Amino acid sequence: MTEWATREDIVRIDQRLDRGDSRFDKLEEQIKTNTELTKKSCEDTGEMLEFLRAMKGAFKVLNWIGKLAKPLAAIVALGAALVGLWTAVKGGVMPPR
C-alpha cells in the first residue's frame, strides 16, 4: 500500500527546506565573518611577535653594552687617575709626606 504525499505535505516540506536554506545562508555568513576576524587576528599577532623579537634583540644589545660598561669604567677611572697624576707632577704639586 503506497501513500502519496498530499499538496499540504509538499508545501510543509518545501517550507522546511526554505527554512534550512535560510539557516544555512546565515551560517555561511557567520563563518565568513569569523574567517575574516581570524585572519585579522593572525596579522595582529604576527605584528606583536615581530615587535617582541625586535625587543629581544634590543635587550641583547643592552646586555652587551652592560657587559662592556664595567671594564670600560675601570679603564676610564685609570685614565682619569693618570691624567690627575700627570697634572700634579707637571704643576709641581708634590704629595704630602
Residue for grid cell 615581530: 50
Phi, psi angle pair for 6, to nearest 5°: -85, 170
Predicted TM-score (pTM) of this structure:
0.46
What 3-state DSSP class applies to 4?
Answer: coil
More confident residue, 5 or 22: 22
pLDDT digit string, tens, across residues 16-50:
999 999 999 999 999 999 999 998 888 888 888 88
Q: Is the pLDDT of residue 95 over 70?
A: no
pLDDT of 52 > 60? The answer is yes
pLDDT at 76 over 70: yes
